[in-house]
Structure 1
Amino acid sequence: MNEIDLRRFDLNLLVVFDVLMVERSVTRAAERLGRTQSAISHSLSRLRSQFGDPLLVKGGVRMQPTAFALDLIEQARPMLSGIQRVLSPTQVFDPAHSQRVFRLAVPDFALALFAELLARVRKEAPLVSVEWTTPRAPTLLDVAEGQVDLAILPSELQWPQSVAGEAIGALGWRCFGRRDHPAFSEWGPANWARWPHLAVRIGDNVRSPVNVAAAAAGLTRTIAGWVPHFPAIAPILARSDLLATLPLAAMADVVDAYDLASTEVPFAIAPLPHAMVWCSGRSRDPGMIWLRDRLRPIARRTFAV
Structure 2
Amino acid sequence: MKTIHSPALDLNLIKVFDALLEARSVSRAADALGVSQSAVSHALGRLRSLVGDPLFVRTGNRMEPTPRAQRLAEPLRDLLLGAARALSVEETFDPCREERSFTLSASDSLQAVLLTGILRDADKLRVSVALKSLDPDAMLDALDDGTVDLAIGYMPEVRRWHDRQFLYCENHVCLFDPALVPLTPPISLEEYTRYPHLMPSLRGGLTSFVDDELHALGTRRRVAASTTQFVAIPMLLTRTPMISTLPARLAHACARTMGLVTSPLPFASSDFEVSMAWHRRNAGSPSHGWLRQRIAEEAERL
TM-score bracket, normalised by the shorter chain, equals: 0.5 to 0.7
Cα distance change, pair 209–91 in 1 and its aligned pair in 2 (3 A): farther
Residue-by-residue CA offset, 1:69-126 (whole Å, 9 max, x unaligned) = xxxxxxxxxxxxxxxx9x9723343333221111111221232422332124654xx2
Cα distance change, pair 195–98 in 1 and its aligned pair in 2 (3 A): same
RMSD: 2.8
Decide whether the 8 Å contact of 1:154 with 1:272 is kept in 2: yes
Deviation at 1:173, TM superposition (A): 1.0
Partner of 1:48: none
Deviation at 1:183, TM superposition (A): 4.1
Decide whether the 8 Å contact of 1:198 with 1:244 is kept in 2: yes
In 1, the alpha carbon distance for the partners of 2:123 and 2:98 equals: 11
Partner of 1:81: none
Length-normalised TM-score, structure 2:
0.64
Partner of 1:199: 199
Partner of 1:213: 213
Decide whether the 8 Å contact of 1:178 with 1:261 is kept in 2: yes
Deviation at 1:295, TM superposition (A): 1.1
Partner of 2:162: 163
Cα distance change, pair 186–193 in 1 and its aligned pair in 2 (3 A): same
In 2, the alpha carbon distance for the partners of 1:249 and 1:135 equals: 20
Identity %: 26
> Which amino acid is 2:175 matched to?
F
> Which amino acid is 2:290 matched to?
W
Partner of 1:271: 271
Decide whether the 8 Å contact of 1:135 with 1:151 is kept in 2: no
> Secondary structure of 1:253's partner?
helix
Decide whether the 8 Å contact of 2:116 with 2:298 is kept in 1: no
Aligned residues: 218
**1:58-137 equivalent positions in 2, closer than 5 A:** 89-109=89-109, 110-120=111-121, 122-123=123-124, 126-136=125-135, 137=137
Deviation at 1:268, TM superposition (A): 0.2
**Which consecutive unaligned segments of at least 5 residues does structure 1 have?**
8-84
In 2, the alpha carbon distance for the partners of 1:289 and 1:121 equals: 18
Cα distance change, pair 209–301 in 1 and its aligned pair in 2 (3 A): farther
Decide whether the 8 Å contact of 1:135 with 1:153 is kept in 2: no
> Secondary structure of 2:99's partner?
coil
> Secondary structure of 1:246's partner?
strand
> Secondary structure of 2:273's partner?
strand
Partner of 2:296: 296
Partner of 1:154: 154
Deviation at 1:185, TM superposition (A): 7.7
In 2, the alpha carbon distance for the partners of 1:115 and 1:197 equals: 29
Larger Cα-atom Rg: 2
Deviation at 1:204, TM superposition (A): 6.3
Decide whether the 8 Å contact of 1:122 with 1:128 is kept in 2: no
Length-normalised TM-score, structure 1:
0.64
Cα distance change, pair 198–146 in 1 and its aligned pair in 2 (3 A): same
Residue-by-residue CA offset, 1:198-238 (whole Å, 9 max, x unaligned) = 01232264662322333333332210111230121112111
Decide whether the 8 Å contact of 2:185 with 2:263 is kept in 1: no
Deviation at 1:298, TM superposition (A): 0.6
In 2, the alpha carbon distance for the partners of 1:186 and 1:162 equals: 44
Decide whether the 8 Å contact of 2:117 with 2:294 is kept in 1: no
Cα distance change, pair 227–206 in 1 and its aligned pair in 2 (3 A): closer
Deviation at 1:179, TM superposition (A): 1.5
In 2, the alpha carbon distance for the partners of 1:184 and 1:163 equals: 45
Decide whether the 8 Å contact of 1:197 with 1:221 is kept in 2: yes
Decide whether the 8 Å contact of 2:105 with 2:150 is kept in 1: yes
In 1, the alpha carbon distance for the partners of 2:113 and 2:185 equals: 32
Cα distance change, pair 179–206 in 1 and its aligned pair in 2 (3 A): closer
Decide whether the 8 Å contact of 1:103 with 1:150 is kept in 2: yes
> Secondary structure of 1:97's partner?
coil
In 1, the alpha carbon distance for the partners of 2:212 and 2:272 equals: 12
In 1, the alpha carbon distance for the partners of 2:161 and 2:207 equals: 27
